[in-house]
Amino acid sequence: MSQRLVLGIGNLLMGDEGVGVHAIETLAAEAWPADVALLDGGTGGFHLLEVLHTHGEIVMIDATMDGQEPGTVTVLRPTYASDFPRSLSAHDIGLRDMVEATQLTRALPTITLITVSIASVQPMELALSPAVAAALPDVRRQVRAALSPQGALTGAPAA
C-alpha cells in the first residue's frame, strides 16, 4: 500500500468544479514513485474516510469559489477541519465534513490542500474553462513540491 496519496475531488459534469479529477487524469500520465498513489475521489463522500485513515500523507486537489481570479492556485496545509476554507466548492459531502469525521476516530494524516479558484459551477459542462485548464501545470508543480519533502520523487514527468 502506498504511504502517500494525491486525491482529486470534483464533479466532471460541472465544468470547472471538476478540476481536481481533471488534475488526477493529467497526473496519471506521469511516472510516480511506488509509495505515491493517485485517486479520483469524485464528489467526495464518507466512502473516502478509509482513504484518510490509511495514508500517512495526502495531497488534496479541489476547486474553490473564493473570489480570486479563476485559475489561481493556492496551497494550504490545514491541521484541523476548521482550517479548511469555507469556500470549497460544494460536493455531496465536503472535505471539511470528511476531515471532521476522521478527527472523531483518529489523528489526521498530513494534508496539503491545493485549491484552484473557479468563477462558478457550470452544470452539464465537461470541459474546463481556459483559465482553469491553464492552471493544471501549476497544480502539477505544486503536487510534486508538496510530496518532495518526504523524499526525492524519482518518476520523471511523461513527455
Task: List, in order of start, the domains of the chain with CATH numbers.
Answer: 23-119+136-148 (3.40.50.1450)
Question: Is residue 143 over pLDDT 80?
Answer: yes
pLDDT in tens, 80-120: 777 777 666 555 456 666 677 666 666 678 889 999 999 99
Length of the chain counted residue by residue? 159
Chain mean position to CA 2: 17
How does pLDDT run across 17-67, given as a tens digit for each residue? 999 999 999 999 999 999 999 999 887 777 777 777 788 899 999 999 999
Q: What is the pLDDT of residue 27?
A: 98
Q: 149 or 125: which carries more pLDDT confidence?
A: 125
The candidate with the shortest Cα–Cα distance to 66, out of 76, 58, 57, is: 76
Helix runs in 14-94, H state only? 19-27, 49-54
Whether residue 130 has pLDDT greater than 80: yes
pLDDT computed for residue 105 by the predictor: 67
Q: Provide the pLDDT for residue 30.
A: 95
